[in-house]
């Protein structure tokens, strides 16, 4: 990945499309509210649908969330970095623009060293959301990106086809695990924590 180019574009408030450890995603700096608005425009996405944060470490995750409970700590330690998004209680560093007014934020540590470097160079989490018009199929090759979307994008990192799946999404309520999106890691968690459902 052209890390320096990606970091420069993100720092300038521009939208980039980059390969992740799941699918191709649009990324921007989470602290740039103008850039976040551009993401919703590019995806033609309803603002009632929240966005996900990518962080580079558990330490960074802690900076943007309230105190984690024991089960959250356990799951983070066991399954991250990886294709798992946890809905955690956000603190006031995360704007309502990102969470659509919810007190929960979707957050994960990607299993991709280049992506981790990008986040570290930015110095705070980045937004990541699939690089498709809202409601359409997720993108696994940049050639699939719609022209309507490309008008909003400053840079596309082309890594060819990536054969991945979206992340699983879970949250923990009253010591119980609730699965929001059931991909492979969620299926594994169902086996490992069968008493927590």
Tens-place pLDDT, residues 102-112: 999 999 999 99
Biggest distance spanned by C-alpha atoms of the chain: 48
**Average pLDDT in the chain:** 95
**Nearest CA to 17 among 112, 110, 120, 152?**
152
Give the three-class secondary structure for 47: coil
- Do 105 and 111 form a contact (C-beta atoms < 8 A)? no
Tens-place pLDDT, residues 74-130: 999 999 999 999 999 999 999 999 999 999 999 999 999 999 999 999 999 999 999
CATH code of residue 141: 3.90.870.10
Q: Mean pLDDT throughout 132-136?
A: 91
Domain that holds residue 61: 3-196
pTM for the full predicted model: 0.94
Q: Is the pLDDT of residue 71 over 90?
A: yes
Q: Which residues contact 91 (CB under 8 A, 6 or more apart)?
A: 64, 65, 66
- Do 16 and 26 form a contact (C-beta atoms < 8 A)? yes
Q: Which structure tokens are listed for 197? A: 């459902």
Tens-place pLDDT, residues 14-44: 999 999 998 899 999 999 999 999 999 999 9
* Percentage with pLDDT > 70 across the chain: 100
């Amino acid at each position: 990945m052209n890390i320096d180019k990606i970091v420069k574009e993100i720092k300038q408030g521009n939208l980039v499309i980059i390969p992740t450890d799941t699918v191709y995603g649009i990324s921007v700096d989470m602290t740039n509210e103008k850039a976040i608005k551009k993401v919703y425009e590019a995806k033609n996405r309803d603002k009632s649908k929240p966005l996900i944060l990518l962080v580079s470490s558990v330490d960074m995750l802690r900076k943007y969330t309230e105190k984690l409970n024991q089960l959250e700590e356990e799951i983070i330690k066991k399954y991250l970095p990886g294709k798992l998004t946890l809905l955690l209680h956000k603190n006031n560093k995360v704007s309502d623009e990102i969470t659509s007014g919810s007190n929960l934020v979707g957050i994960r540590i990607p299993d991709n060293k280049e992506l981790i470097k990008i986040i570290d160079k930015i110095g705070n989490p980045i937004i990541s959301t699939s690089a498709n018009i809202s409601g359409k199929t997720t993108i696994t090759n940049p050639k699939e990106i719609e022209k309507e979307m490309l008008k909003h994008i400053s840079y596309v990192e082309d890594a060819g086809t990536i054969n991945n799946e979206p992340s699983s999404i879970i949250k923990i309520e009253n010591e119980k695990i609730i699965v929001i999106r059931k991909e492979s890691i969620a299926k594994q968690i169902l086996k490992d924590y069968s008493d927590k459902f």
